[in-house]
Homo-oligomer: A and B are copies of this chain.
Amino acid sequence: MEQKTLPTQKLPKLPKLPTKTLPTWIAVDWGTSNLRVWALDDGANILATAESQLGMNAIAADPNLGFESVLISLIGGWLDNNARDIPVVICGMAGAKQGWCEAPYCEVPAAPTDLAFGAVHPTVSDPRILVSILPGLCQRGDADVMRGEETQLVGFMAQNPDFAGWVCLPGTHSKWARLSGGQITAFRTYMSGEVFALLSKNSILRHSVDDAWDDVAFADAVRGALAQPSGFLHNLFTVRAGALVATDGAVVPPGASVLSGAVIGAEIADVLSLLRAGDEIALIGTGKLASLYQAALAVHGHKATPMDSAAITLAGLARAHSVVIG
């Protein structure tokens, strides 16, 4: 199990904190394939942090693993024997039906307090901790679900209380949520990341996709997606046809750029069709994927600087902690 300390802060040596820095509470982001924990003091300063690959799927696949024991193996060193009922606030897949303890979905429109009050509290055998698992969010009209991203949205709202518009969280299944009046009013999941992966690895387009990249070809494909927003299933094929019809000596745009632009461009074209006057756009994410969304949004004149998702998640967990634990 990998343990990390944040490089910018002076931290006590892991795994055990000196008694005087017993955490006030512990924040946990428990995803499908990852688990991240933070020890925090009463001023919301990070005392320590740790990560593991033991996401929900790994635990579900191994009958010798349980959620509580995995959690304790990661945070146990932060708790001395005098600790009692240290609040542990968890978001993500730990609250799924196949997770630790199901936290039924909240329904949109939902405020941060609605989500916090939806927390469930599984019985634990370790007396040092008191566990709250936050719910996910669902939408019934245009059926949709999220688990984990809602806590990022809560963190974003804590930092941007007057924001009105759409927040983008890129990923295997990208989420776009509309925030307005201190509530999450609607959201849309896009299977963009998974569709890109399938097409680039398992479809006929795999012959056209390699490591070559061109920013201009990406931007052109993003522009093409907005020019004919219904044309996604056709635009895909131009990744292959572009090379087949190129005249001898012509430069063929790299397939990865065209495919990525077609997929991300289609997602953004759909969101742009839903924008209302004055709507802002924000982007939560890190790394190459978030940069591509930033570039695609810039093609259409929208400036959105990617925000660090881990920090936003922690801000959301802190907001939930302040509501649930007070």
Which residues of A come within 8 Å of B, CB atoms? 105, 138-140, 142-145, 173, 188-192, 194-195, 198-199, 202-204, 228-234, 236-238, 241-242, 244-245, 263, 266-267, 269-270, 273
Contacts and interface: CB of A to CB of B under 8 A. Distances in A.
A7 to B, nearest CB: 35
Given A229-B229, A233-B263, A266-B232, A194 B190 contact: no
24 contacts: A105-B244, A105-B245, A139-B241, A143-B238, A143-B242, A144-B241, A145-B241, A145-B244, A173-B204, A188-B231, A189-B237, A189-B241, A190-B234, A191-B237, A195-B199, A202-B202, A228-B273, A230-B230, A232-B232, A233-B263, A233-B266, A233-B267, A233-B270, A234-B267
A233 B143 contact: no
B173 A191 contact: no
Given A140-B245, A191-B234, 11 more contacts: A143-B245, A144-B241, A173-B237, A189-B234, A190-B233, A194-B203, A195-B203, A195-B233, A198-B199, A233-B263, A233-B270
A136 to B, nearest CB: 9
B145 A234 contact: no
Contact of A192 (B229, B230, B233): B233
Contacts of A237: 144, 173, 189-191
Contacts of A198: 198-199, 202-203
A188 B145 CA distance: 34
Contacts of A232: 232-233, 266, 270
Nearest to A231: B270
Contacts of A233: 190-192, 195, 232, 263, 266-267, 270
A233 B267 CA distance: 7
Nearest to A205: B191
Q: Which 3 A-B pairs have the closest CB atoms?
A: A229-B230, A230-B270, A143-B241
A222 to B, nearest CB: 13
Contacts of A231: 188, 270
A316 B231 CA distance: 29
Nearest to A196: B233
A103 to B, nearest CB: 13
Contacts of A105: 244-245
A264 to B, nearest CB: 10
Nearest to A273: B230
A196 B188 CA distance: 21
A242 B143 CA distance: 5
